[in-house]
Amino acid sequence: MALTPVDIMHTEFNAAFKGYNRPQVDAFVQSVRQALEDVLKEKSDLLRKIDALQDEVDRVRKIESAMSEALTVAQKSAEEVRLNAHRQAELIVQEAEQSRVKTVAEAQQEAGKYRADIALLQATRDRFEAEFKGMLSSYMEWLQKHSSEEEARSEVA
């Protein structure tokens, strides 16, 4: 059974022959009551402090948990960013390679066209030269023939 200051205050002792000194007992009871009251008050204060500290511990644990979750999310986000950057870099490299291949193919195709144009121009030049030489040869023959006839007419006249 728990003893309270009120219990101590209302406790009465029977008088006995050659008993204790009543004023001393009353003073002692008063001092025990006060000590018990102080201890109970201190206990109550300590329990309130324990509750406040427990609340603070709970709050710190919640903060710690939130920070841990935030750190986990940040780590996952950083990993995702790194992976996305890596994928984007790979895509850029692939696009650059495809662009290079396309550019080389276009350049080779254009070079082929230029070679065909050059061959056509050379063939046209060769044909022109042949035709021009043929025409010059015809004119030369005509001039020689015409000059010979003129000379013959001049001698006859």
Confidence (pLDDT) at 54: 97
pTM of the predicted model over 0.85 = no
Section 48-74 average pLDDT = 97
The phi and psi torsions of 45 (rounded to 5 degrees) equal: -60, -45
Amino acid identity, position 57: V
Indicate the average pLDDT of the chain.
90
Q: How far apart are CA 79 and CA 72, in angstroms?
A: 10
Confidence of residue 96 (pLDDT cuts 50, 70, 90): very high
Mean pLDDT, range 3-30, rounded to an integer: 78
Q: In the chain, helix, strand, coil percent, each to 5?
A: 90, 0, 10
Higher pLDDT, 54 or 7: 54
